[in-house]
Amino acid sequence: MNKNSEKIDMAALRDKLATQQGKQYWRSLEDLAGTEAFQKLVENEFSTSLDEFGEGFSRRRFLQVMGASLALAGLSACTSQPEEKIVPYVTNPEEIVPGKPLYYATAVMLGGYAAGVLAESHMGRPTKLEGNPEHPASLGATDIYAQASVLGLYDPDRSQVIRRVGRFDTWENYLASVQAELQGQRIKDGAGIRILTETVTAPALANQIRNILKDYPLARWHQYEPASRDSFKAGAQMAFGQYVDCQYHFEHADVVLSLDGDFFTGIPGGLVYARKFTGRRKAEGDSAAMNRLYAVESSPSLVGAMADHRLAMRAGDVAGFAASVAAGLGIDVPGVRNQAVRQKWIDALVRDLRKHSGRCVVVPGEYQTPDVHYLAHAINAALGNVGKTVTYTQSAEANPVVQLDSLRELVGDMESGDVDLLFILGGNPVYTAPAEFKFDEKMAKVHTRVHLSLYEDETSELCHWHIPQSHTLESWGDARAYDGTATIIQPLIAPLYGSKTAHDVLSVLSGQSGKSTYDIVKDYWKKEIGGVDFDERWQIALHNGTVAGTAFVRKTVRLQRAQNLNVEGSSPGIEVVFRPDPNIWDGRFANNGWLQELPKPLSKLTWDNAAMVSPATAARLDLENEQIVEISSGAQTVKAPVWIVPGHAEDCVTLYLGYGRTRVGHVGNGTGFSAYGLKPGSGDWFVAGVKINRIEAHWPIANTQEHGSMEGRNLVRSASVGEYESHPEMFHEMGHEPGPEMSLYPPFEYNGYAWGMAVDLNACIGCNACTIACQSENNIAVVGKEEVRRGREMHWIRIDRYYEGELDNPEVHHQPVMCMHCENAPCEVVCPVAATTHSDEGLNEMTYNRCVGTRYCANNCPYKVRRFNFFKYADYETESLKLMRNPDVTVRFRGVMEKCSYCVQRINLARIDAKKEDREIRDGEIVTACQQVCPADAIVFGNINDENSEVSRRKSEHRDYGLLAELGVRPRTSYLAKLKNPNPEIVES
């Protein structure tokens, strides 16, 4: 909004109305112009007046958000009911059957890399994403970001209108304005044109940019996103003299060494790695053969939590550690320090690696130095892993560059005034660029700045043109996966607002104005895969979600000798380690309520980031949870609340990026603090020698699990492979499990189906994908930070995290807990109105309509999986969110209890299909949302009356046990105990 001008500009208003789609409700000219005074009026009218009523309400940030959303949605309450006519299809589209969803193959990206998804569409509305089993980077699983992108699409805070210096404008004016600028550039060969994108793997987009660069030879294309793979690329450049991608093949790896990284999440191919890695830990039947994972890490990660052996060390020491391992394997590395303390550990590791030559793999962390990447390549080469557990291909990036250098170059050009016309396509560099680049100041020297983004963010504010970006689910496009496989991205819905794609924005440069994104993408692929039967192949590619034959062929690479490796170890003092946030990534998902409220793996924080330190470091610095500290490095200072994380490296602080945003939306504004200020411009992901000052103030943090100890209870049962093999019944002996004979009544006979679930704790990596998939499938509400602090989060499935052993390097256990559908369900007996009852298939069913909300069931549930609508958490007002909901699942009103239903809507769907075909429901036909999304295949659901079903098979394993089964509740969900495969040499020492 233009704060300097409160005068209403009629022309601008006319333009605004022209830019918006659909029926626009506006109350007055002030409303339409969005003047500040009017905004205040709206706030007073809708949100704050009730806040004054008391703490209960004012604390609920999310409801304020909703109050504001109401203002955005148009004032429907004060108008009389419009005369609406419901018009049936005169000719029903062939494929649409009301009530039956359709699935379309498309892809979602993180860091430019695609993972294939199948989008569930109800009457033209995408409501849920499932992994595409035929896509090589998905194999049917998705990560949390893919699940949450549905909410991203319908986010009411998304940018909806083109703005020029803060005022509403039109696409036509944008085209005209840029065309005028281009007149001058044409003479200069485009010397003043810069295009800044995020990582681009999209072949069609890269092609379009290349064509522009042909027309304007002096124009430049830069790429930058903060969580890019710069270290990986620089390491590959060091090792092989070229940019390559590498893929790991964990299915062939008996021994894995992770060097301060997390190869499960936030990495291209992570879903596949998780599937293949955990596939080697299933310990099925009598064989307990398992891979062995060594992890060295600074900041506790999911890989560290899975490790059979884990060392916590400062990020700066990892290079030295890797060099020691390399030296142990006989690789000539300059400057190896002898790490006497861990020498035994290293020796045992080296022997184990050597023993498994060709069947092991070393995986460097994305946020380690290029040197560590170089060493990992060297070790893999020396152990003969290349071609077996590690393969190389050309980079999936269309134009691989070390992005920080690319950005630095752009900033230099902007400073010297060489840039006249800057297109920022996606990304938010004003917020994400290292503070020392002073991106915002330098950018001010650019004559015309165009920003395409999903939100009106920090960068949009400083640009002349802001253009709302189409969400992935509403635009055409393409992208490559980690192995090069290309996917055509197809829109599931027409853009909700007048948004544009990068292709659209660039079309004016490439002389394709007016050409649709669809045509640009299709034309590109016509040229690529061409041929007479192109239309058919195009259809097949769209249908399958992959373009056949686009996976890269393996590349033979030759390791070069490194000139100079820095393996000295970090300087003394405290080290800060940066990581993209596990939930909101680099900040792009900051306005996504599902991701904000998702308890971060291990720390279980929601809605905030924190300065995470080890217990010992906290004790030494006299810090406690939620206490604010001032962290300074050089001239930069950041204030952050402390959170103590067992297993963190000593003298080391982890800061997650992505928080502290000021302009993102009602959900994300004001959450956490920004760590970008401290992040060095060198591109390093850790910086040593920082100062930490205690401040006598606290910042409240919403954490979903306060207690990490199992208190000696046999909740997660675990043992080493050796112990298990010598005594397979050990897990059953850990707890007494009373059978049905304990009851005075005869057990109920389940004659038809009897649904049950088994969760393999040995496979669960704790990635949270199930939690958010469940949220999406079951229309689970977001409650906001204050409500989470009061213990009122609504997730139907949660990942319990327990620590075991020493405080400084504990063993971590994950345990997904959802409703156990107990056969003797304690919740059912106590409900006074019979709102929760047992079905004849063994489901514990919740009848929302009948629930009066005594909450007695929740008290009596030993698993505490029941969730209560203390307020009206579900958003009944915001129009766009109505489109998002799964029509098969009721949206719950305030005052009713809810909980996991075993995805009863999916059971019923399968039942209908089976009945139509006059057959039984097949094993595997019903896939619950949590099961479907799980990259580790940890969850299996099915009919336990069928002896041959997968779930029965798993339940017959020796490792199978019931959580709290000693209470006699007879849970239908059971767990497979966790195994560790330690190296006997290290255990003995």
Q: How far is the CB of 861 from other proteins (least distance, A)?
A: 9
829 binds other proteins (CB under 8 A): yes
First to last CA, the chain: 66
Q: Which of 279, 738, 895, 924 binds other proteins (CB under 8 A)?
A: 895
Comparison of 664 and 897: residue with beta carbon closer to other proteins: 897
Q: With contact defined as beta carbons under 8 Å apart, do 422 and 451 qualify? A: no
Question: Minimal CA–CA distance to 447: which of 420, 479, 470?
Answer: 420
Q: Name residues contacting other proteins, limited to 682-741 (CB under 8 A).
A: 705-713, 715
Calculate ∠ Cα 860-862-865, nearest 5°: 95
Residue 550's contacts (CB-CB under 8 Å, 6 or more residues apart) are: 480, 484, 485, 486
Question: Minimal CA–CA distance to 781: which of 593, 965, 964?
Answer: 593
Comparison of 764 and 851: residue with beta carbon closer to other proteins: 851
State how far the Cα of 604 lies from the Cα of 801, in Å rounded to an integer. 8
956 binds other proteins (CB under 8 A): no
57 binds other proteins (CB under 8 A): yes
831 binds other proteins (CB under 8 A): yes
State how far the Cα of 483 lies from the Cα of 395, in Å rounded to an integer. 9
Q: Which of 855, 882, 911, 922 binds other proteins (CB under 8 A)?
A: 855
**Count of C-beta atoms within a 10 Å radius of residue 38:** 18
State how far the Cα of 396 lies from the Cα of 216, in Å rounded to an integer. 25
The shares of helix, strand and coil residues in the chain, as percent rounded to the nearest 5, are 30, 20, 50
753 binds other proteins (CB under 8 A): no
Q: Which of 164, 717, 801, 980 binds other proteins (CB under 8 A)?
A: 801
State how far the Cα of 231 lies from the Cα of 364, in Å rounded to an integer. 10
Comparison of 53 and 89: residue with beta carbon closer to other proteins: 53
Q: Which of 73, 559, 967, 986 binds other proteins (CB under 8 A)?
A: 967
> Segment near other proteins (CB under 8 A), from 20-28, 284-292, 457-465, 790-798?
790-798
Q: How far is the CB of 704 from other proteins (least distance, A)?
A: 9
How many C-alpha atoms does 811 have within 13 Å on its Cβ side?
16
- Residue span 202-221 as binding mask against other proteins, x where in contact by CB under 8 A, dash where not: --------------------
> Segment near other proteins (CB under 8 A), from 432-440, 560-568, 606-614, 789-797?
789-797
Q: With contact defined as beta carbons under 8 Å apart, do 83 and 91 qualify? A: no
State how far the Cα of 310 lies from the Cα of 294, in Å rounded to an integer. 6
Q: With contact defined as beta carbons under 8 Å apart, do 412 and 438 qualify? A: no
Q: Which of 798, 885, 906, 959 binds other proteins (CB under 8 A)?
A: 798
Question: What stretch of H or E contains 633?
Answer: strand 627-633
390 binds other proteins (CB under 8 A): no
- Residue span 769-788 as binding mask against other proteins, x where in contact by CB under 8 A, dash where not: ------------------x-
State how far the Cα of 31 lies from the Cα of 221, in Å rounded to an integer. 40
818 binds other proteins (CB under 8 A): no
Residue with token string 């059953």: 732
Count of positions on this chain that bind other proteins (CB under 8 A): 61
52 binds other proteins (CB under 8 A): no
- Residue span 442-481 as binding mask against other proteins, x where in contact by CB under 8 A, dash where not: ----------------------------------------
**Count of C-beta atoms within a 10 Å radius of residue 206:** 19
750 binds other proteins (CB under 8 A): no
**Count of C-beta atoms within a 10 Å radius of residue 149:** 25
Q: How far is the CB of 598 from other proteins (least distance, A)?
A: 16
Label the pairing between strands 255-259 and 448-453. Answer: unpaired
Q: How far is the CB of 773 from other proteins (least distance, A)?
A: 20
State how far the Cα of 453 lies from the Cα of 459, in Å rounded to an integer. 9
Q: Which two tokens stand for residue 494?
A: 């027409």
Comparison of 167 and 814: residue with beta carbon closer to other proteins: 814
Residue 47, phi then psi, degrees to nearest 5? -115, -40
896 binds other proteins (CB under 8 A): yes
Comparison of 348 and 896: residue with beta carbon closer to other proteins: 896
308 binds other proteins (CB under 8 A): no
838 binds other proteins (CB under 8 A): no
Helices then strands, each counted (H, E), the chain: 35, 38
Q: How far is the CB of 615 from other proteins (least distance, A)?
A: 18
Q: Which of 17, 24, 49, 56 binds other proteins (CB under 8 A)?
A: 56
Q: How far is the CB of 792 from other proteins (least distance, A)?
A: 5
Question: Minimal CA–CA distance to 702: which of 797, 607, 782?
Answer: 607
Comparison of 495 and 708: residue with beta carbon closer to other proteins: 708
527 binds other proteins (CB under 8 A): no
State how far the Cα of 195 lies from the Cα of 360, in Å rounded to an integer. 42
How many C-alpha atoms does 475 have within 13 Å on its Cβ side?
25
> Segment near other proteins (CB under 8 A), from 29-37, 543-551, 720-728, 824-832?
824-832
Q: Which of 619, 833, 912, 987 binds other proteins (CB under 8 A)?
A: 833
Q: Is 269 left (phi over 0), alpha (psi -120 to 50) or beta?
A: left
761 binds other proteins (CB under 8 A): no
421 binds other proteins (CB under 8 A): no
Q: How far is the CB of 869 from other proteins (least distance, A)?
A: 7
> Segment near other proteins (CB under 8 A), from 338-346, 394-402, 552-560, 893-901?
893-901
Q: At what angle do helices 315-328 and 370-382 cross, to 10 degrees?
A: 20
Question: Minimal CA–CA distance to 685: which of 613, 560, 586?
Answer: 586
Q: Which of 52, 55, 622, 729 binds other proteins (CB under 8 A)?
A: 55
Binding site residues, other proteins, CB under 8 A? 53-57, 60, 705-713, 715, 787, 790-792, 798, 800-802, 815, 817, 826, 829-834, 850-856, 858-860, 862-864, 866-872, 893-897, 964, 967, 969
